[in-house]
Amino acid sequence: NLLLAKKGKNRYFGHRKRSWQSCCHSTRTEHAEIHFIEDVFQEQRSDPSAHCSITWYMSWSPCGYCCKQIKDFLKEQPNVNLVIYVARIYWHKREINRQGLRSLMNIGVSIRVMDLPGNDSWSYGDYMG
């Protein structure tokens, strides 16, 4: 799985914060999204109290286990807003993966499936009906 993360520029209390981008790859022992929240985010985050909007562009949607880890991360980081764009749904017939994505959507994470250039992306919720 390939994850490209992008934090947009925001204004906090009159000060301009920098934007940043990061690229994470899955390894045999760690999925890309876990590497991002455990390593990359912690290195980049300078002020835990500041609001942070993050957009992920992923080749695959998170698996059920990663969804739980992301949900726990967002509970610990209430000032983080996460938007996820995916190219494909990971093992969509497995209930644990579908439930994981639903649980992220239920806490406000936007999950969008990317489409070909010129077409709009569509919401994972549209797929689930």
Task: Give the active site residues.
Answer: 33
Residues 129, 111: Cα–Cα separation, whole Å:
14
What is the residue-wise DSSP string for 89-126? -TTTTSHHHHHHHHHHHHTT-EEEE--STTS--EEHHH
